[in-house]
Amino acid sequence: MEDQGLEIKVESVAGCDVMALDGELDCQTAPDLAEALRRAYDEGRRVVVDLSRLQFIDSSGLHVLMTGSGCDNGRRVVVCPPGNVARVLEIVRAEAALTLYEDVDEAIAGARTKGDGRG
């Protein structure tokens, strides 16, 4: 299977960086997300990671989502509607480390009300 790559689009919405992922989050592309999250966290930005268009996630991608920059002050805010990626998150019980929403607007509202606001 050929690696499809990952596109990370960042849009500022209501004081949050919404990082929309499109493609595959795997061992080849997880470092790109880790770097984007680190930059946003270093700048003090609130972050919502939108997995709505993500087609595949492996353990490397899960690791970046559930740990790393921005997770030391609380749970990362993630949008993940029902589907294959949501099923993977359910299997690994990602809700223990992530605040999950099915809708971007709800996730932004959640990110804005978190403790220090950084996701």
Q: For residue range 33-46, what is the model confidence (pLDDT) as tens digits?
A: 999 999 998 998 88
Whether the CB-CB separation of 24 and 56 falls below 8 Å is answered with yes
**Which CATH number belongs to the domain containing residue 87 in this structure?**
3.30.750.24
Share of the chain above pLDDT 70, in %: 87
Q: Does residue 59 fall inside a structural domain?
A: yes
| Structural domain total, the chain | 1
pLDDT of residue 117: 41
Q: Does residue 1 fall inside a structural domain?
A: no
Q: For residue range 69-78, what is the model confidence (pLDDT) as tens digits?
A: 666 556 789 9
Quote the pTM value.
0.89
Domain residue limits at 77 = 6-113
Burial 88-98 (b: 16+ CB within 10 A, else e): bbeeeebeebb
Q: Does residue 119 fall inside a structural domain?
A: no
